[in-house]
């Protein structure tokens, strides 16, 4: 049997991820836990606690994984744009 606090945290994380279509990183920041904790809660603990909620979270995380290369590209583009603007101001 899982620790009740861990079960509560896993459910709360899962509900927030589904409601916000959030990433593991965003959930970790929001709840003040590590990405590893969020990932373990979502992929291992939640499956034992609430299978339906687990499936909903799994779908959100699959979409996030499929889109992450796009977000990474945007972050890189913003980084170089900031550097270019800094050089122009000098």
Q: What's the DSSP call for residue 86?
A: H
| Residue 58 near residue 69, CB atoms below 8 Å | no
Task: Compute the distance between CA of residue 60 and CA of residue 89 in angstroms, rounded to an integer.
Answer: 41
Q: Which pLDDT value is given to residue 86?
A: 86
Task: Report the Cα 65 to chain-centroid distance in Å.
Answer: 10
**CB atoms < 10 A from the CB of 3, how many?**
9
Q: Is 3 helix (H, G, I), strand (E, B) or coil?
A: coil
Question: Is the per-residue pLDDT at 85 higher than 70?
Answer: yes
Q: Which residue has the higher pLDDT, 83 or 24?
A: 24
**pLDDT tens readout for residues 8-56:** 999 999 999 999 999 999 999 999 999 999 999 999 999 999 999 999 9
Q: What is the pLDDT of residue 72?
A: 67
**pLDDT value of position 2:** 56
Query: Given a cut of 80, is residue 1 above it in pLDDT?
Result: no
């Amino acid at each position: 049997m899982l620790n009740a606090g861990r079960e509560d945290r896993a459910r709360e994380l899962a509900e927030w991820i589904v409601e916000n279509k959030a990433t593991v990183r965003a959930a970790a920041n929001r709840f003040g836990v590590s990405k590893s904790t969020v990932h373990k809660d979502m992929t291992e603990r939640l499956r034992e606690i609430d299978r339906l909620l687990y499936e909903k979270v799994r779908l959100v995380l699959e979409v996030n994984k499929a889109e992450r290369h796009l977000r990474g590209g945007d972050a890189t583009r913003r980084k170089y744009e900031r550097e270019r603007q800094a050089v122009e101001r000098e």
